[in-house]
Structure 1
Amino acid sequence: MKSDKQRLLTILLLVLTSTLPLSTVYGASVLKITMDELLTGSEFIFEGRVLSVESKQTGPKRIHTFVTCEIKEIIKGEYPEQTITLRFLGGAVGNLTMAVSDIQIPRDGERGVYFVESLERNQVHPLYGWSQGHFTVTADDTGIERIMTSKNQPVTRISFDADSVQPSNETRRVKAFSRGVATGVTVEQNREETKGLPLNEFKQALRKRLNETNP
């Protein structure tokens, strides 16, 4: 089932795109999620490399961008092909532009770890929690591959619900809006002085938590 927050966003964006001209920027807000929600809410998680990024006009007042990725390693779920195409709302075709704030589309040639919410439903953003489900991979000067946020900020630690103090039921009802990273992801702003968590450690932590929650 599509989450309430994404269903409301989809309805809002469809109303906007049906009544406003193209070449418009649309606003969107996404609720902050935890790393556990990111793991359980994603149907498919994979490490991959972006092979191509192509924007197409998919309606009189709508543009989508199609990102085709090579699947290098599957962390959760199954997929029968070696490549997967993710569809994002927005993009530019000729002199027409459709932009949605907070949607960051993977770049051509980018490497990353991607948390796909659904393999069947077409959504405004295919990744769970939008940028919260989008991590990039960058090699440091020694060749070690390290995990970054979608904005290339070093991720130095990840933690799950069991690793932190549990909020009361009343507190859990109040959700903040996301700033691009999930709760449990520790990010350093100074990339020059800080190196991200090694990619292999990041993937091992995800698999360990998946095994704990799905014995």
Structure 2
Amino acid sequence: MLSNHSAPTRPSQIAVLLSCAFFSIPLFATTLIGMDIDNVAKKAEIVFEGEVIQSQPQLDSNSGIINTYITFRIVDLVKGGFSGDSIELKFAGGELNGEIVEVSGSTLPKLGESGIYFVESTSADMLNPLMGWSQGHFLIKNEGGRRKVHTVDDNPVTQIQSVSAIPLVIKAPNKLIQDNEGIAAGVTVRSRALTNTEALSADDFKRQILDMLEN
């Protein structure tokens, strides 16, 4: 469970805007730096397939900001030494008593959602505990009875491959991410206009992540 204190400013964060239904509060200004899928996997404390079984917004008495405590049922632990069958993570933002607080670029996992989650830390106090926010947040969708992996903005993932071995002189620089549509380098998605490329199954996705972690 994450502790309930005000979130520190992180080196990779340059500009975040929390906006409410009735007013806007420029609390943190944050822009995320794009990551390689290699680093998303290797730097995560734990990686798991799970399902959101509870979402509980609470008002932080110190900061006055709404945080949402999300409980996941762990279906399959891909990486890490976590021993429980469920885990609670804290995300900044949420809806409470008609007031909505949103952190720009951060998507809260929804109740009933299934996915694969790359958790940066299970103990540090963060705006979003997932690696690179959207870069460590993948959805599992049922497509014709088959469990397929999508990005958090619902683009089918067709391939993941390591890019860490690419020489820096020819490797594209990491991009800055300012919304929830950022994906890690090495993750290939299918355009919505192209339907002939099949998305990776959840099992294949996890298997490729394990292969990446072993190399």
What range is the shorter-chain TM-score in? 0.7 to 0.9
Kindly tell me the number of residue pairs found equivalent between the two proteins: 200
Q: Do the aligned residues in 1 keep the contact of 2:163 with 2:185 (CA within 8 Å)?
A: no
Query: 3-state DSSP class of the match of 1:48?
Result: strand
When residues 166 and 107 of structure 1 are mapped into structure 2, their CA distance, relative to the original with a 3 A threshold, is: same
Q: Distance in 1 between matches of 2:43 and 2:203?
A: 22
Determine the C-alpha separation between the residues in 2 that align with 1:185 and 1:25: 33
Match of 2:4 in 1: none
Aligned partner of 1:133 in structure 2 is 136
Secondary structure of 1:47's partner?
A: strand
- Which residue type is aligned with residue 190 of structure 1? R
Q: Quick one: structure 1 residues 41 and 139, their matched pair in 2 at CA, closer, same or farther if it must change by over 3 Å?
A: same
Structure 1 pair 210–55 and aligned structure 2 pair: CA distance change class (3 A): same
Match in the other structure for 2:186 = 184
Q: Report the counterpart of residue 24 of structure 1 in structure 2.
A: 24
Shift of 1:136: 0.4
Show the counterpart of 1:198.
201
How far residue 97 of structure 1 moved from its aligned partner, in angstroms, is: 2.2
Q: 2:73 corresponds to which residue? A: 70
Distance in 2 between the 1:3 and 1:36 partners? 21
Q: Is the 8 A contact 1:114 1:133 kept in 2?
A: yes
Q: Is the 8 A contact 2:59 2:67 kept in 1?
A: yes
Displacement of 1:42 in angstroms is 0.4
Unpaired segments ≥5 residues, structure 1: none
Q: What residue identity is the alignment partner of 1:209? A: M
Query: How far off its partner does 1:92 sit?
Result: 1.4
Distance (Å, rounded) in 1 between the aligned partners of 2:43 and 2:213: 12
Which amino acid counterpart does residue 46 of structure 2 have in structure 1?
A: F
Alignment of 1:161-180 (within 5 A): 161-162=163-164, 165-168=166-169, 175-178=174-177, 179-180=181-182
Aligned residues: CA RMSD: 2.7
1:119 aligns with 2:118: no
Give yes or no for contact 2:35–2:184 (8 Å, CA) kept in 1.
yes
When normalised by structure 2's length, the TM-score is: 0.83
Which whole-Å deviations, capped at 9, do the CAs of 1:112-159 have from their partners, x for residues lacking one? 000000111111101010000000001111x11111101111000011
Report 1:80-91 matches (<5 A). Answer: 80-91=83-94
Counterpart Cα distance in 1 of 2:10 and 2:25: 24
Overall identity of the aligned pairs, in %: 29
1:36 partner SS: helix
Q: Please give the TM-score of this superposition, normalised by the length of structure 1.
A: 0.83
AA aligned opposite 1:56: Q
The CA distance in 2 between the partners of 1:33 and 1:25, in whole Å, is 28
1:46 matched to 2:44? The reply is no
Shift of 1:192: 7.5
Q: Which residue of 1 aligns with 2:12?
A: 5
Higher helix residue share: 1
Partner residue, 1:144: 146
Asked if the contact 1:153–1:191 (Cα under 8 Å) also holds between the matched residues in 2, the reply is no
